[in-house]
């Protein structure tokens, strides 16, 4: 590795100091990004003795520079200062960064300290890391105390039991801090911390800390305890959850703050899986139904996103009796975001309900959502239709949903049309050739003339995928004549699409089809009056010469037909045409062995 400086050079530290003192923020930022290179040039000893102390004093700077420093020191920086045995040296500057005002800097510094801790042995943890943690957790400014919260989990299982007792007490104190920002940090960090506890300490210490935070008067604290609840429930038996956490589960799901209920809804499946089947049936199903009916659209949106995951934990009869009626109401919800979230998940109910119940209860809802006025709702339902196919079969799908899909294929929103195009190959595979040719063949070709470039591009890729599904003989009859025919169209966009479609699908075809049905049209377009078409022809010819270069006939086609046209294009009046023609010609000569 080249450090950029000679090891003997004494200037790097001076250069860095000068750049870090420069008025230009970008210059100081560049210096920080090169700090590992400079450390390498200085060598481990000088990096420890000179560079790290200098960085430790360089905290009076722009937030952008401090953020970069916090990040650099967490990137295995111990390798530049002598290895893991000296990793604790990095804690000094990172501790200072944990006390700055900017949250992003503090968070990154805490993250880097956690990374550094992985390289520390138990002696280093107890001699250097724990004192740092104590200084931060007892700091006068809330910024230090906030930064200390995520650092407890990393050290906990590396210290002795008496020290673990002390860490739990220190963390508990942060959970009752006077400053809401500190309590928020404690609530956010309790889950990872409590996962390191023994079962006994989860019950005696973790639960007590959680309950205090869960009763906090700030909803910004309470909403962060939802993940703590899950972490604790995961470490208890279902009977213990019922005894120790049932009250908190009820309070969280019915909290007066919609933000807390939103978090409960967004993590409901994790909670349900953690508490056990009995509690799901006896307690959680009621809370989930209430969240699906919540007054706030944000809560209903989050709950709708959990539908199939939660339904997996229920019997079919319960899904039909309790969940499906809510889903039916959500399909009519006033909020498009709720309907979009539901549309993205509702298909997941089909495998759980089976064919008959899906046809009876879900199919009408799919049709309703497919006709929703908002594109995102329609997109989401389309993208998951394969789950429905596997349950009800393509016959019913084609009878019920295909008309709606054809209607959407002409939707005014190009994103909807694009989503339909991407779904077509899967649908084609299930419909079979005759049905596809009759119902969707012309539709696929019509997309090639769409006014939106992204649609035309997606349509050409679609043709390639259809060729892979139905085979080259089908493509020769159904695709190639239509693509070639567009090459004579008076509108240059259609002629351009012909060139691009040939570029995409030709490698999937046989050399005989290319030679007999495609190449002549492409060569004619080399004389098109539009430069964009001519240079795309050059690119297409390069693709063709490469695609069939492994056969003598392919190389012969290149030399006899492709090379002469490229030679002519190489002298085109347009610079772009000349560039792509020269590049393609070089490739063709390379393939032909210099012919």
Query: Which pLDDT band, with edges at 50, 70 and 90, does 108 fall under?
Result: very high
What mean pLDDT comes out for the span 116-121? 89
Beta-carbon count within 10 A of 308 CB? 21
pLDDT at 203: 92
Angle of the 336-345 helix axis to the 375-383 helix axis, nearest 10: 10
Q: How far is residue 175's CA from residue 148's CA, in Å, rounded to a whole number?
A: 12
Q: How large is the average pLDDT for residues 221-244?
A: 92
Q: What is the mean pLDDT of residues 336-351?
A: 92
- Top-confidence range, 12-16, 156-160, 382-386: 156-160
Q: What is the pLDDT of residues 426-461, one digit of tens each?
A: 777 766 777 777 777 788 888 888 888 888 888 888
* 68 pLDDT more than 80: yes
Q: What mean pLDDT do residues 378-397 have? A: 75
Q: How far apart are CA 448 and CA 366, in angstroms?
A: 28
Over 60: is that where the pLDDT of 4 sits?
no
Helices (H), 234-349: 238-244, 246-253, 258-266, 268-275, 277-279, 285-292, 297-304, 307-311, 316-318, 324-330, 336-345
Angle, to 10 degrees, between the axis of helix 103-117 and the axis of helix 63-72?
A: 10
Q: Are 411 and 374 in contact (CB under 8 A)?
A: no
pLDDT mean over 532-540: 90
For residue 256, the model assigns a pLDDT of 94
Give the span between the Cα atoms of 170 and 30, in whole angstroms: 39
End-to-end CA distance of the chain: 43
Residue 476 CA, chain-centre distance (Å), reads 39
Question: Rounded to an integer, what distance in angstroms lies between the CA atom of residue 83 and that of residue 18?
Answer: 27
Q: How confident is the model at residue 595 (pLDDT cuts 50, 70, 90)?
A: very low
Asked if residue 388 has pLDDT above 90, the reply is no
Using alpha carbons, list the distances in angstroms from residue 106 to 25, 199, 294, 310, 555.
Answer: 20, 32, 37, 37, 63
Q: What is the pLDDT of residues 310-338, one digit of tens each?
A: 999 999 999 999 999 999 999 999 999 99
pLDDT of residue 1: 39
> What was the pLDDT predicted at 13?
62
Arithmetic mean of pLDDT, 570-579 = 90
pTM of the model: 0.74
Class of domain 471-594: mainly alpha
Tokens standing for residue 312:
């997996």
Q: How confident is the model at residue 210 (pLDDT cuts 50, 70, 90)?
A: very high
In sequence order, the 6+-apart residues with CB closer than 8 A to the CB of 53 are 92
Looking at per-residue confidence, does 140 or 8 come out higher?
A: 140
In tens, the pLDDT along 264-303 reads 999 999 999 998 888 888 889 999 999 999 999 999 999 9
Model confidence at 564: pLDDT above 70: yes
pLDDT of residue 20: 63
């Amino acid at each position: 590795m080249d450090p950029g400086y000679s090891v003997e050079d004494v200037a790097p530290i001076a250069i860095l100091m000068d750049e870090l003192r420069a008025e230009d923020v970008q210059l100081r930022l560049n210096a920080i990004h090169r700090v590992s290179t400079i450390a390498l040039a200085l060598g481990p000893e000088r990096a420890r003795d000179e560079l790290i102390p200098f960085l430790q004093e360089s905290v009076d700077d722009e937030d952008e520079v401090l953020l970069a420093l916090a990040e650099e020191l967490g990137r295995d920086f111990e390798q530049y200062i002598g290895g893991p045995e000296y990793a604790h040296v990095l804690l000094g500057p990172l501790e200072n960064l944990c006390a700055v005002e900017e949250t992003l800097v503090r968070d990154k510094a805490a993250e880097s300290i956690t990374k550094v801790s992985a390289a520390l042995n138990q002696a280093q943890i107890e001699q250097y890391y724990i004192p740092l943690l104590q200084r931060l957790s007892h700091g006068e400014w809330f910024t230090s105390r906030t930064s200390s919260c995520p650092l407890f989990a990393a050290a906990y299982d590396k210290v002795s039991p008496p020290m673990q007792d002390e860490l739990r007490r220190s963390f508990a104190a942060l959970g009752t801090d006077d400053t809401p920002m500190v309590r928020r940090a404690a609530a956010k960090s309790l889950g990872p911390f409590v996962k390191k506890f023994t079962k006994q300490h989860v019950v005696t210490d973790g639960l007590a800390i959680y309950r205090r935070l869960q009763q906090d008067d700030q909803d910004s604290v309470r909403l962060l305890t939802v993940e703590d609840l899950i972490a604790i429930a995961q470490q208890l038996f279902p009977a213990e959850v019922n005894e120790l956490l049932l009250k908190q589960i009820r309070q969280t799901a019915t909290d007066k703050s919609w933000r807390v209920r939103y978090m409960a809804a967004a993590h409901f499946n994790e909670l349900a899986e953690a508490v056990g089947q009995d509690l799901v049936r006896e307690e959680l199903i009621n809370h989930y139904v209430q969240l699906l009916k919540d007054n706030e659209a944000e809560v209903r949106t989050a709950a709708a996103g959990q539908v199939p995951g939660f339904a997996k934990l229920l019997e079919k009869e319960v899904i039909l009796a309790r969940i499906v009626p809510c889903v039916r109401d959500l399909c009519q919800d006033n909020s498009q975001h709720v309907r979009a979230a539901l549309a993205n998940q509702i298909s997941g109910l089909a495998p759980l309900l089976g064919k008959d119940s899906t046809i009876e209860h879900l199919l009408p809802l799919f049709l309703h959502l497919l006709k929703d006025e908002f594109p995102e709702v329609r997109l989401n339902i389309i993208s998951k239709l394969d789950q429905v196919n596997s349950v009800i079969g393509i016959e019913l799908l084609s009878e019920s949903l295909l008309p709606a899909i054809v209607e959407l294929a002409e939707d005014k929103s190009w994103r909807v049309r694009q989503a339909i195009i991407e779904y077509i190959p899967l649908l084609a595979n299930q419909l079979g050739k005759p049905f596809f040719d009759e119902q969707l063949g012309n539709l696929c070709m019509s997309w090639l003339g769409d006014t939106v470039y992204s649609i035309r591009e997606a349509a050409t890729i679609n043709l390639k995928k259809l060729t892979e599904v139905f085979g080259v003989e089908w493509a020769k009859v159904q695709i190639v004549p239509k693509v070639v025919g567009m090459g004579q169209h008076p509108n240059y966009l259609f002629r351009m699409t012909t060139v691009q479609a040939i570029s995409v699908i030709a490698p999937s075809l046989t050399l005989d089809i290319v030679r007999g049905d495609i190449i002549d049209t492409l060569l004619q377009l080399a004389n098109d009056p539009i430069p964009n078409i001519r240079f795309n022809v050059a690119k297409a010819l390069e693709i063709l010469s490469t695609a069939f270069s492994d056969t003598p006939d392919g190389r012969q086609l290149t030399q006899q037909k492709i090379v002469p046209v490229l030679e002519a294009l190489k002298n085109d009046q347009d610079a772009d045409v000349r560039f792509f023609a020269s590049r393609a010609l070089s490739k063709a000569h390379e393939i032909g062995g210099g012919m």
